Amino acid sequence: MNITEKLIKSHLVKGEMVKGTEIGLKIDQTLTQDATGTMAYLQFEAMGIDRVKTEKSVAYIDHNTLQSGFMNADDHNYIRTVCKKHGVYYSRPGNGICHQVHLERFGKPGKTLLGSDSHTPTGGGIGMLAMGAGGLDVAVAMGGGAYNITMPKVIKVNLIGKLRPFVSAKDVILEVLRILSVKGGVGSVIEYGGEGVLSLSVPERATITNMGAELGATTSVFPSDEITKAFLKAEGREEDYVEIKADDDATYDKEITVDLSKLSPLAAKPHMPDNVDEVKNIGKIKIDQVCIGSCTNSSYLDLMRVAAILKGNTVAEGVSLTVSPGSKQVFTMLAENGALADITAAGARVLECACGPCIGMGQSPNSAGVSLRTFNRNFEGRSGTKDGKIYLVSPETAAVSAITGVLTDPTDAGFEFPEIKIPNEFLINDNMVDAPAPAGAEVEVLRGPNIKPFPLNENLPDVIEKKAVLKVGDNITTDHIMPAGSKILPYRSNIPHLSQYCFEVCDPTFPERAKAEGGGFIIGGANYGQGSSREHAALVPLYLGIKAVMAISFARIHAANLINSGIMPLVFENAADYEKISQNDVLKIENAREQLASGRITVNNVTGGFDFTLKADFSEKQLNMLLSGGLINMMKGNN
Of 480, 481, 269, give the one whose Cα is nearest residue 378: 269
User: Looking at residues 567-584, what average pLDDT do you find?
Assistant: 97
State the pLDDT at residue 638.
56
Report the sign of the C-alpha dihedral through residues 437, 440, 444, 447, in that order.
positive
- What are the angstrom distances between the C-alpha of 445 and each of 86, 149, 242, 386, 471? 10, 33, 38, 39, 42
DSSP 244: B
Residue 68 has pLDDT above 80, yes or no: no
Q: What percent of the chain has pLDDT over 70?
A: 100
- Contact in structure between 203 and 303 (CB atoms under 8 Å): no
pLDDT in tens, 38-47: 889 998 998 8
SS3 label, residue 31:
strand
Count of CB atoms within 10 A of residue 446's CB? Answer: 15
- Contact in structure between 290 and 402 (CB atoms under 8 Å): yes
Better pLDDT: 557 or 127: 127
Residue 204 has pLDDT above 80, yes or no: yes
Q: Which of 37-41, 493-497, 590-594 reaches the highest mean pLDDT? A: 590-594
- Contact in structure between 218 and 587 (CB atoms under 8 Å): no
DSSP string, 188-227: EEEEEESGGGGG--HHHHHHHHHGGGGGTBSEEE--B-HH
Which residue(s) pair with 255 in the sheet?
A: 156
- Contact in structure between 111 and 206 (CB atoms under 8 Å): no
Q: Tell me the domains of the chain and their CATH numbers.
A: 3-262 (3.30.499.10), 266-409 (3.30.499.10), 464-630 (3.20.19.10)
Tell me what the pLDDT averaged over the chain comes to. Answer: 95
pLDDT in tens, 467-486: 999 999 999 999 899 987 77
Query: For the CA atoms of 243, 249, 254, 259, what is the dihedral angle to 10 degrees?
Result: 70
Distance (Å, rounded) from C-alpha 445 to C-alpha 78? 6
pLDDT in tens, 405-416: 999 999 999 999
Count of CB atoms within 10 A of residue 452's CB? Answer: 16
Q: What pLDDT band is residue 36 in, cutting at 50, 70 and 90?
A: confident
Residue 71 has pLDDT above 90, yes or no: no
Residue 67 has pLDDT above 90, yes or no: no
pLDDT in tens, 260-278: 999 999 999 999 999 999 9
- Contact in structure between 360 and 501 (CB atoms under 8 Å): no
SS3 label, residue 362:
coil
pLDDT in tens, 513-526: 999 999 999 999 99
Residue 627 has pLDDT above 60, yes or no: yes
- Contact in structure between 501 and 482 (CB atoms under 8 Å): yes
User: Looking at residues 508-512, what average pLDDT do you find?
Assistant: 96
**In what side-by-side order are the strands of the sheet with 349-350?**
276-278, 266-268, 389-392, 370-373, 289-292, 320-323, 349-350
List the helix and strand counts (H, then E) for the chain.
22, 27
Q: What pLDDT band is residue 362 in, cutting at 50, 70 and 90?
A: confident
Query: How many residues belong to the chain?
Result: 639
Better pLDDT: 636 or 403: 403
- Contact in structure between 150 and 139 (CB atoms under 8 Å): no
Distance (Å, rounded) from C-alpha 602 to C-alpha 595? 8
State the pLDDT at residue 453.
79
Of 527, 285, 506, 264, give the one whose Cα is nearest residue 390: 285
- Contact in structure between 612 and 572 (CB atoms under 8 Å): yes
Residue 330 has pLDDT above 80, yes or no: yes
- Contact in structure between 67 and 108 (CB atoms under 8 Å): no
Distance (Å, rounded) from C-alpha 639 to C-alpha 628? 4
Which residue(s) pair with 156 in the sheet?
A: 191, 255
226: which residues sit within 8 A by CB, 6+ positions away?
Answer: none
Distance (Å, rounded) from C-alpha 331 to C-alpha 333? 6
Residue 359 has pLDDT above 90, yes or no: no
Residue 637 has pLDDT above 80, yes or no: no
Buried (b) or exposed (e) across 578-593, using 16+ Cβ within 10 A? beebeeebebbbeebb
β-strand 89-91 against 289-292: which pairing, if any? unpaired
State the pLDDT at residue 483.
86
User: Looking at residues 58-78, what average pLDDT do you find?
Assistant: 89
